[in-house]
Amino acid sequence: MQTGASGRSARSRRQSADTERERDVVHGVEVLDASAILALLLGEAGADDVAHSVARGAAVSTVNLTEAAEVLARNELTPEPIMARFCEQVVVEPFTYDDALAAAALSPPTRPQGLSLGDRACLALAERLDATALTADRQWSGLEIGVSIRLVR
């Protein structure tokens, strides 16, 4: 195992940095998935509900930001200014090593609903922050995976 100047392993330093970041986030907030972000940005059904969540301090994974930006670009919108303004209003959380493992562990129990990596990244972040995952995807209804889920439409 490789260690840095402090003698700690790279994984140990990474976990320490993750712990410090978690202290900066208010636990119990809602975590937005890409469908919730897009509902807000595109004025779709559920946008008001997502806006209230954002006003209360919602968090979002960088993975879900990527998914939302991709949809904007695919719809011939310029993602940079839209996403920049959105990111000023939410807590942007990196997709951590622990999130990656949690998202992988969620694959078998969510396979019947067809959840994507992005969906599982949102759920992993919600689990890490002890938060509710906010989604517009009805395929999440009925999931029983130990993470609170709220549908916006």
What local confidence, expressed as pLDDT, does residue 24 receive? 46
In this prediction, residues 40-49 reach a mean pLDDT of: 96
Q: Please write the tens of the pLDDT for every residue from 82-125.
A: 999 999 999 999 999 999 999 999 999 999 999 999 999 999 99
CA–CA dist 134, 68 (Å, integer) = 14
What are the residues whose beta carbons fall under 8 Å from the beta carbon of 15, sequence distance 6 or more?
97, 98
Asked if the model's pLDDT at residue 58 lies above 50, the reply is: yes
CA–CA dist 48, 54 (Å, integer) = 10
What local confidence, expressed as pLDDT, does residue 3 receive? 45
Q: Which residue has the tokens 């011939």?
A: 76
Our CA dihedral for 92, 73, 34, 66, rounded to 10 degrees, sits at -40
- Cβ atoms of 44 and 38 closer than 8 Å: yes
- Model confidence band, residue 26 (pLDDT cutoffs 50, 70, 90): low
Asked if the model's pLDDT at residue 78 lies above 50, the reply is: yes
Asked if the model's pLDDT at residue 10 lies above 50, the reply is: no
Q: Is 67 helix (H, G, I), strand (E, B) or coil?
A: helix
pTM: 0.81
Q: 91 — phi, psi (to 5°)? A: -90, 115
Decide if domain 26-151 falls under CATH 3.20.20.70.
no
In this prediction, residues 55-74 reach a mean pLDDT of: 97
Q: Please write the tens of the pLDDT for every residue from 113-147.
A: 999 999 999 999 999 999 999 999 999 888 899 99
Burial profile 84-100: b = 16 or more Cβ within 10 angstroms, e = fewer: eebeeebbebebbeebe
What are the residues whose beta carbons fall under 8 Å from the beta carbon of 36, sequence distance 6 or more?
46, 50, 53, 134, 135, 136, 152
Encoded amino acid at 143, one letter: L
In this prediction, residues 17-42 reach a mean pLDDT of: 74
- Model confidence band, residue 27 (pLDDT cutoffs 50, 70, 90): low
